[in-house]
Amino acid sequence: MAENGCLLWRFLPTTPMKRIDIPYRLNGDFMYVNQHVQGNSNTLNERHPDCTFVSVIIPVYNDQAGIDECLRALDAQTWPRECYEIIVVDNASNPPIKIDPSFKDVACILTCPTSGSYAARNAGISKAQGEVFAFTDADCFPDPDWISAGAAALERNRGRFIIGGEVALFLSQQPTAVELYQYWGSFMQRENIEHLGFSVTANLFVTRSQVQGVGTFDERLFSGGDLEWCWRAAHSGFPVIFAPEVKVTTAPRRSLSSAIRQVRRVAGGRHKLRKMKTAHINPAAVKPRRTGWAAARWILSHPDISAWNRIRIFCVALVLRIAQVIESLRLSHGSTAERR
């Protein structure tokens, strides 16, 4: 099954790679700068001819420190370096994102002026040379065997499924109330996949042929594009499955202001999804995971959270719920959705 540390891919084509035009690209034009990776996937990994070439695609917006740490984690992968590329897509950051010179033999940077992480991911897809696309975020830190585990999960399933990996959160030594709220309630990846049928793009593995069949991400969405794409994939015959061994780690948000921005963006995504009249979107599944009362009861009765931290988390949840309601009302009156 493996040779020279690489999986033998039997369900993917071995013909030379060519750039393809993938359907469903919406809206913006892409601008490409600072390209360092050249050639096709067969020449790029000629030292490992049986190894499938993987394109890691990372959108980034105003997070230089995050992308630096993410690239350090990707530089330590067990997957052979000749068998993967890293495409960083700067979504018009100010100041622009820069790639550390030590990573330029494996990473390239593109600039996507169209607002939104899904537009940035599409820009990455349009330049990717791999047979496998691995998506993560700039504030995520993949485990050393992340690429190999994701490629193995795809290979085991012969391209019949897309792969959603684990997204683990870690707390700082003195966590804020917002950190605790996100730690206990965010990124329920297994629940998202097994009950709602989608994986967040912080940890998603797909094949090129799957993207060709499903189409790229919907650039009209600033949030919820992962949910819409996974539902569209399932509608096309490629449901998502959970692979806990494919793991990335990320830190929860620390400040209330950043959490409010996130809640506003998610509310905007749900608002737009509800307005999209397509067969693969279930309006009931777009609603928040819990009602306000159910969320309060869950927080205040959780046995693994101390009484004091329950109160702190409940206060954050209350503020964020109010922010969500206000944002929903604002959007219903025609205001612009939050993109950050």
Q: What is the dihedral of CA 216, 220, 224, 225, to 10 degrees?
A: 10
Identify the band that residue 274 occupies on the pLDDT scale cut at 50, 70 and 90.
confident
- The label of the residue with tokens 């928040």 reads 288
Phi-psi region of 324 (alpha: psi -120 to 50; beta: other; left: phi over 0): alpha
Expressed in angstroms, the distance from the first to the final Cα of the chain is 43
Angle at the Cα of 35 from the Cα atoms of 135 and 33, rounded to 5 degrees: 95
Contact 207, 159 (CB under 8 A): yes
**Among 74, 307, 281, which Cα is nearest to 196's?**
281
Contact 269, 194 (CB under 8 A): no
Identify the band that residue 282 occupies on the pLDDT scale cut at 50, 70 and 90.
low
Average pLDDT over residues 72-94: 95
Contact 153, 163 (CB under 8 A): yes
Give me 315's structure tokens: 């206060």
pLDDT digits (tens, 9 = 90+) for 121-148: 999 999 999 999 999 999 999 999 999 9
Q: Is the pLDDT of residue 28 over 60?
A: no
pLDDT digits (tens, 9 = 90+) for 39-77: 344 444 555 557 899 999 999 999 999 999 999 999 999
CATH superfamily, domain at 2-176+186-251:
Spore Coat Polysaccharide Biosynthesis Protein SpsA; Chain A (3.90.550.10)
Contact 323, 264 (CB under 8 A): yes
Q: Is the pLDDT of residue 11 over 70?
A: no
Question: Is-above-0.85 flag for pTM?
Answer: no
Could you give the CA distance from residue 61 to residue 168 in angstroms, rounded to a whole number?
21
State the chain's mean pLDDT as an integer: 82
Report which of residues 286 and 235 the model is more confident about.
Answer: 235
Q: What is the pLDDT of residue 335?
A: 77
* DSSP H/E element including 203: strand 203-207
Contact 127, 21 (CB under 8 A): no
Give me 90's structure tokens: 């700067």
Q: Is the pLDDT of residue 97 over 50?
A: yes
Q: Is the pLDDT of residue 323 over 80?
A: yes
CA distances from 58 to 68, 241, 267, 293 (A): 12, 21, 23, 37
Q: What is the pLDDT of residue 301?
A: 87
Angle at the Cα of 103 from the Cα atoms of 210 and 46, rounded to 5 degrees: 55
Give me 11's structure tokens: 């369900």
Residue 116, phi then psi, degrees to nearest 5: 115, 140
Q: Is the pLDDT of residue 198 over 70?
A: yes
Q: Is the pLDDT of residue 319 over 70?
A: yes
Give me 243's structure tokens: 């692979």
Contact 108, 87 (CB under 8 A): yes
Q: Taking the domains of the chain in order of start, what are their residue ranges?
A: 2-176+186-251
Angle between helices 307-332 and 177-185 (to 10 degrees): 80
Q: What is the pLDDT of residue 291?
A: 65
Q: What is the pLDDT of residue 47?
A: 52
Q: What is the pLDDT of residue 298?
A: 79
pLDDT digits (tens, 9 = 90+) for 227-270: 999 999 999 999 999 999 999 999 999 999 999 998 888 887 77
Identify the band that residue 308 occupies on the pLDDT scale cut at 50, 70 and 90.
very high
DSSP state of 63: -
Q: Is the pLDDT of residue 329 over 70?
A: yes
Average pLDDT over residues 213-219: 95
